[in-house]
Amino acid sequence: MERARRRLASAIDGLRAQFTDADSQEGPSSSSASTIAKIHSMVRERLEDSDCRLSKIIRHGFPDGPRCMAFDPVQKLCAIGAARGSVRLLGQAGVEHFLQHDSDEPVTHIQFLVNEGGLITALGDDTLHLWNYRQRTPEIVHSLKMSKESITTIYLPFQSKWLMVGTEKGNIYFINLGTFELSTQIIYWNKAVDMSCRSHPGYVKTLQSCPTEPSKILIGFEKGHVVLWNILTKTGERFAAATELSPVTAFCWNSDGRQFMCGHQNGSLSIWNIKKPRELIHKTTPHSPIASSGGGSSPSSSGGASATLPSQHISCKPITQLSWNTNTDGEQLIIFAGGMPMDEGALPSLTVLRAKGSLTVLEMDHAIVEMVPLNNSPHASVAQHPHTIAVLLKNDLLVVDIQAQGYPCFEVPHPMDLHESPVTLLKLEKILTFKNKQYLFLGITLIVLLI
């Protein structure tokens, strides 16, 4: 630093000498005198408070403690909610923004207002926030505190003005996005679940609206019960997926709006028709030694294999996340997390199941937080395959090309390599006091040399 200071002083002296020599050659004049005075006023040897401003210019590395992820298929934006109230917005190369809540509570749930420049976040203290990022500096325009019940999930259908909020008590609330106030309409758990289920179904785990009939909502509860609720008639139909099989841990609609697929705690997959809540259409366990099949015709992706062993004797891990897509040619694509045999290794994995029984397992280095299929159209009723799938891991973000052979990973254009090597040392350099504020510098020194 002393050497740099000397070089800076030498440069200032050189500027002074240059203008002094020029003035002596031209002779004294009022213009040259004023020029020298301006130079002396511009070049100061001592720094003042107004010359220094500490500002954050860049954030590097993976979000600390990622909890959730969302995708806007129109604006091609990905949002990652993390611990300490932070949100990362990622787009194409050069498109990145950082949002920070006033609270340090973790961001537990996140939803885009697709193509509207809005983002909804739910924090660990059961507070909901509506962000507006259409302007240069994103800001929170509405906030709402859920005082009576804890938030367990949120869901916003495409182009809907009502946000659905599931709670730990099994109830579902509706929030008007225009006013960000609670509606008087509430779906109570004892109304959604029929009288044959006498015990509490647990908290609301998943909410998804029917692709072709938005007034019908598929509700998944903690204990594995699945209910199709009609908002218009205020009636519900409970499916026998949890009673006849294993508790449901994930589900996904088909684009036709007539069928949906369930992932179960025992690693099996089942297909149900909304017109036949008591009748199993098809059942298979992809990672069992012998896949088991139920009644009805089997989907092309399962290969139609039959079995003699009952599925409850097959020890597989629960299916935690599920995506079911069909393109215009009728070819099915199923992607799910979990479902591996219990005797397999502990590595987290994704399974890609295509037509004619083609099955591929993608092993991950870290725990899977969430997976989001990236589609071209935001409409769930459009028959399409995702071109890519984003996989949010505990310490990484993977973007897998589903259309390419071998499923390679795209190179993420944003710096995500902070946690590739564990941090083993933090060095305290110094604490500087500037305008009665202390700033801590950890092992980072910036040296500027003027040559």
pLDDT per residue as tens digits for the range 189-236:
988 887 667 789 999 999 999 999 999 999 999 998 999 999 999 998
CB neighbour list of residue 219: distance below 8 Å, 6 or more residues apart: 166, 172, 187, 192, 204, 206, 207, 226, 227, 228, 229, 236
Average pLDDT over residues 273-288: 89
d(CA 44, CA 34): 17
Which tops the pLDDT comparison, 436 or 52? 52
Phi, psi of 402 (to 5 degrees): -75, -20
Strand partners, 112: 119
- Give the lowest-confidence range in 240-244, 288-292, 416-420: 416-420
What whole-number distance in Å separates Cα of residue 116 and Cα of residue 156? Answer: 13
What percent of the chain clears pLDDT 70, i.e. is strictly above it?
A: 73
Q: Are 413 and 406 in contact (CB under 8 A)?
A: no
Helix (H) or strand (E) holding 12: helix 2-26
Burial of 247 (C-beta count, 10 Å sphere; 0-12/13-18/19+): buried
d(CA 391, CA 241): 27
What's the pLDDT at 174?
97
> Over the stretch 383-425, which tens digit does the pLDDT of each residue have?
899 999 999 998 888 999 999 988 999 887 766 654 444 556 6
pTM for this prediction: 0.75
pLDDT band at 297 (very low <50, low <70, confident <90, very high): very low
Are the CB atoms for 152 and 109 separated by under 8 Å?
A: no
Please, what's the b/e burial string for 262-271 (b: 16 or more CB within 10 A of its CB; e: otherwise)?
A: bbbbbbbbbb
Task: Give the Cα separation of 430 and 279 in Å (integer).
Answer: 69
Distances (CA, A) of 35 to 43, 44, 46, 293: 12, 15, 21, 92
**How many residues are listed for the chain in this entry?**
451
**How are the residues of the chain apportioned to helix, strand and coil, as percentages rounded to the nearest 5?**
15, 40, 45
DSSP letters of 351-390? EEE-GGG-EEEEE-SS-EEEEEEE-S-S-TTS----SEEE
Q: And the tokens for 3?
A: 């050497």
pLDDT tens-digit profile of 153-190? 999 999 999 999 999 999 999 999 999 999 999 999 98
Which residue would you say has higher pLDDT here, 315 or 140?
140
Q: Which of 20-24, 75-79, 272-276, 424-428 has the lowest mean pLDDT?
A: 20-24
Task: Report the pLDDT averaged over residues 231-251.
Answer: 85
Query: What does the pLDDT read at residue 64?
Result: 76
Residues 6+ apart with CB under 8 A from 248: 220, 224, 225, 226, 241, 242, 262, 263, 264, 265
User: How much is the pLDDT for 24?
Assistant: 55
Q: How many CB atoms lie within 10 A of CB 445?
A: 8
Tokens standing for 364? 């991950």
pLDDT of residue 7: 74
By three-state DSSP, how is residue 25 classified?
Answer: helix
Name the E strands within 285-348.
319-326, 332-338
CA pair distance 88, 72, nearest whole angstrom: 13
Vertex 179, ends 91 and 97: CA angle to 5°? 20
Q: Is 410 helix (H, G, I), strand (E, B) or coil?
A: coil
Among 262, 272, 249, smallest CA distance to 318 is for: 249
Nearest to 203 by CA among 64, 108, 104: 108
CA neighbor of 384 nearest in space, from 300, 301, 328, 323: 328
38: which 2 tokens?
């301006």
Return d(Cα 334, Cα 230) in angstroms, integer. Answer: 27
Closest CA to 318 of 262, 271, 280, 384: 262
Give the model's pLDDT for residue 253. 96
How far is 260 from 380, CA to CA, in rounded Å?
13
pLDDT for the residue 292: 44
What is the pLDDT at residue 208?
96
CA distance 267 to 340: 7
